Amino acid sequence: MTKVLPKKVLACAAMALSATVVVGGCSSSEESTPAGSSSASRSSTLNVFAAASLKKTFTAIADEFEQQHQGVKVTLSFDGSSTLVNQIKQGAPADVFASADEKNMDKLGEQAVDPEIFATNTLVIVTAPGNPKGITSFADLNKPGVTTVVCQSAQPCGNATDTVERNTGITVAAASEEQSVTAVLTKVTSGQADAGVVYVTDAKGAGDKVATVVDPAFAAVVNSYPIATVQGAANDAMAKEFVDAVLSPSGQQILAGAGFGKP
């Protein structure tokens, strides 16, 4: 029986016999990567899940990362660390996770690959500009006529607030417990609350929209921020490069500029 060869094979064989050979016509339909080019030159998307308090800094780091990695798009998702952990556990496509505390990173278990501490943060009280309620301490958050908001205990900012309460013996009678530190800040800046407990970095980012009050008890409660690639990440190599960017001198400078402490 005569075997019928595909038309493309016959065409290539014919061209091989001719004096002029069009090399490109017989190549694979899949384009090969030019020698010396890196994976960064190919189009790809990197999904980064990060604590709400990292919005400003990680946006800046992501912009810098995209400039240095042609064709790469960094998609950022910000929320309370506990909320993000639940999303990742439910199958959300995260390549990198940055938490506002080690407790929530630990909840990912083996899904968090080689976590590293990249920053630290402490709490501060924020009020309306001018501090109209005259709040001077953590205890003053319970003053009559003061509406205070804090983070939920499951979130790093809430867990840190709980620790301050235990250390001081003062329990804040909060009007509400929010899912992220950003939500707490928004309630204060919008006038829905007189005071809130947030991170130093959030207060600094809010500028003259808030007044700040530091209680000595806050210094004893320091949140360490870990970052890790997520097991099974669709873009593992690029995820590791992003982690390196956060830990790099440039990334650390951006974080320091926003008020974060050193790892």
The pLDDT tens digits of the residues spanning 148-188 come to 999 999 999 999 999 999 999 999 999 999 999 999 999 99
9-13, 52-56, 168-172, 224-228: least confident range: 9-13
| Cβ proximity of 164 and 124 under 8 Å | no
Domain-embedded: residue 25: no
Neighbours of 111 (CB within 10 A): 18
Same domain, 230 and 206: no
Q: Please tell me whether residue 224 adopts helix, strand or coil conformation.
A: strand
Read off the CATH number of the domain in which 110 is found.
3.40.190.10
Mean pLDDT computed over 75-89: 97
pLDDT score recorded for residue 193:
98
Amino acid identity at 119: A
Residues 233 and 203 in one domain: no
Q: Do 116 and 229 belong together in one domain?
A: yes
What is the pTM assigned to this prediction?
A: 0.81
What's the pLDDT score for residue 127?
A: 98
Same domain, 115 and 229: yes
Please give the structure tokens belonging to residue 174.
């909060």
In a domain, 212, yes or no: yes
**Calpha distance 250→213 (Å, rounded):** 30
Residues 250 and 132 reside in one and the same domain: no
Domain count, the chain: 2
Reported as a pLDDT band with limits 50, 70 and 90, residue 43 is low
Q: Which residues pair with 28 in a beta bridge?
A: none
* Domain co-membership, 102 together with 149: no
Q: Is residue 23 part of a domain?
A: no
Residues contributing to the annotated binding site: 53, 81, 181, 199
| Whether residues 87 and 59 fall in one domain | yes
| Known binding-site positions for molybdate | 53, 81, 181, 199
Whether residue 34 lies inside any domain: the answer is: no
Q: Is the pLDDT of residue 199 over 70?
A: yes
Question: What is the pLDDT, as a whole number, of residue 122?
Answer: 98
Residue 92 inside a domain? The answer is yes
Residue 235 lies in a domain: yes
Residue 202 counted as domain residue = yes
Residue range 24-40, pLDDT digits in tens: 333 333 333 333 334 44
Same-domain check for residues 231 and 210: no
Domain containing residue 50: 43-120+225-257
Query: What region does 169 belong to: left with phi over 0, alpha with psi -120 to 50, or beta?
Result: left
What digits encode the pLDDT tens for the residues 122-143? 999 999 999 999 999 999 999 9
Q: Residue range 76-95: average pLDDT? A: 97
Whether 59 is covered by a domain: the verdict is yes
